[in-house]
Amino acid sequence: MKTFLPKVDSIDRKWWVIDAEGQILGRMAVKIADVLRGKNLPTFTPHLDTGGFVVVINAEKVKLTGQKESGKIYQTYSGHPGGLREQTAAQVRARKPARLVEEAVWGMLPKGRLGRAQYRKLKVYAGAEHPHTAQQPATLTLS
């Protein structure tokens, strides 16, 4: 029996929209990463990008459990001496709420060229509106 490998030009990429309102961040990020990688499809291949596009709306209303709102630290480093910046999750939510979802999903994708290609298919918006209605995204429900 031969192993089936999907051809790159025959991959049908679907668009999905996820409403993040009231969803727990980590559990939602796992589902998003699975769809971006294509693990929800029978044609999943670890070394190919077989996944679809994911649009996340209402990222500002995502839920963090426990004391992560005040205890979880997000770091950025400018590369200069003394250039380390630290912010709590509450500060990040106030400044750029989409970053919470983006960083959670990026941590669950493979690192390298393949992971970067999969990450580019993630579109995160803080509000309820998104400009991808022409792609007719299907609603992905998280249980």
pLDDT of residue 56: 98
The answer to whether 37 and 109 have CB atoms below 8 angstroms apart is: yes
Higher model confidence: residue 22 or residue 8? 22
* Least trusted range by pLDDT, from 5-9, 22-26, 113-117: 5-9
Model confidence pLDDT, tens digit, residues 38-62: 999 999 999 999 999 999 999 999 9
Rounded CA-CA distance 41/45 in Å is 9
Report the top-level CATH class of 14-64+96-139. Answer: alpha beta
pLDDT of residue 3: 85
Model confidence pLDDT, tens digit, residues 83-124: 999 999 999 999 999 999 999 999 999 999 999 999 999 999
Residue with tokens 């995204």: 137
pLDDT of residue 143: 72
